[in-house]
Amino acid sequence: MLYYLIAGERSGDLHGGNLVRSIRAHDPDAQCRAYGGENMQEAGATIVRHYRQMAFMGFVEVAKNLGTIRRIMRECQADLLANRPDVLILIDYSGFNMRVAKFAKQHGIRVFYYISPKVWAWNQRRAWNIKKLIDRMFVIFPFEVEFYKQFNYEVEYVGNPLMDAISAFRPDVARFSKTALHASANTHGFLKPRYIALLPGSRKQEVVNMLPVMLLASRQFPDYQFAVGTVSNLPPALYDALLADYPEVLRVDDAAYDLLHVATAALVTSGTATLETALLNVPEVVLYKTPRWWYEVGKRVLAVPYLSLVNLIAGRLVVKELIHDCTPNRVAEELRAILPGSPLREQMLSDYIEVQQKVGGPGASERAGKRIVELVKKYATS
């Protein structure tokens, strides 16, 4: 059987890698062809194009790269027809993937989706299009099952794949001793440095917009060591420029979990990392910089009351979200409120327990991969 997977972002590649492993475990003869990255390649997939060439974010960036996006789309469509997989498996990345789904459907290729587009957040009518184009949807949040019922569309809840990555995580103590993250003392006399993690995102636009705000806020906390989680899919020169005036800030490349493991608190750009931070029990402030007028427009467009996954899963405000008021002083104010000794910190850690219970345990990738193989074999014999 030939399985064709498309992930256009870093997180999709991570989950896609685990999915490929599960598919191959349940179908030893499986061939996997993919748009993805190192995780999917290491799991045994043949990579057609790396996701870093596709990770465009926001209206302006997409508009500037329309020519590239169209060329990649034509390339993808041609490759699908040349290889004609038994199933096309789309992973998140809805802007690109829903267009691929339409093309595949028109050409008789069966389409599965793993990690639903966030249609519950805005323009919920898009769910009708999903129902029309996607043969099977595998969702990762319990509330998505109820959401799709409104459209008479039955989806399968498999659990959250973040728990697979987190349960497999083992701190790399040796690596972090090299960067002084486990130093026995520092200039302030603490037995260990107290670290605050900065997670500005994995896309260029996110890092350029958010990291400067985080860094300016860091100046108000001389007793803490700040460390930014960098990613290798972005050029080091980008971080060099942004951190030029902050030689005291450490860089931790491609090891966000290790950084969170030693962190007292975190400043996190809105996205998947906000949930990862909560699942790893690190108090956080969620940031997303946008003008006030855009925030007011967004409030009228969004169909959900919160931006972060932590608050959406909890169904109430657990972590503070700074959006139109994402300034260095406000960031510092909210960060100060979740440092050790504050009642808000203890309440947040208590609320995390409820979030973790709702997310559930590991095994999402295993369940999804097993189910995908079952369905593909069933269709092949029917």
> Residue 194 belongs to a domain with what CATH number?
3.40.50.2000
Lowest mean pLDDT across 69-73, 184-188, 219-223, 301-305: 184-188
Report which of residues 200 and 184 the model is more confident about: 200
Residue 2 Cα to chain centre, angstroms: 26
Is a pLDDT exceeding 70 seen at residue 228? yes
Q: What is the pLDDT of residue 182?
A: 46
CA distances from residue 150 to 109, 111, 139 in whole angstroms, order as listed:
27, 22, 15
Residues of the chain with pLDDT > 70, as a percent, come to 87
Do 120 and 207 belong to one domain? Answer: no
Do 233 and 101 belong to one domain? Answer: no
Alpha-carbon gap, residue 47 to 377, rounded angstroms:
24
Owning domain of residue 68: 2-161+363-381
Is a pLDDT exceeding 90 seen at residue 322? yes
Secondary element (H or E) of residue 237? helix 236-242
Q: How many domains does the chain have?
A: 2
Residue 346's contacts (CB-CB under 8 Å, 6 or more residues apart) are: none
Do 327 and 376 belong to one domain? Answer: no
Do 21 and 142 belong to one domain? Answer: yes
Do 241 and 219 belong to one domain? Answer: yes
pLDDT tens digits along 56-84: 555 555 566 666 788 999 999 999 999 99
Q: What is the pLDDT of residue 225?
A: 93
CA trace torsion 133, 164, 13, 39 (10° rounding) = -140
Do 102 and 227 belong to one domain? Answer: no
Do 39 and 106 belong to one domain? Answer: yes
Full-model pTM: 0.78
Is a pLDDT exceeding 50 seen at residue 306? yes
Q: What is the pLDDT of residue 308?
A: 87
pLDDT tens digits along 20-47: 999 999 999 999 999 999 999 999 999 9
Tell me the average pLDDT across 263-285: 95
Is a pLDDT exceeding 80 seen at residue 174? no
Do 210 and 86 belong to one domain? Answer: no
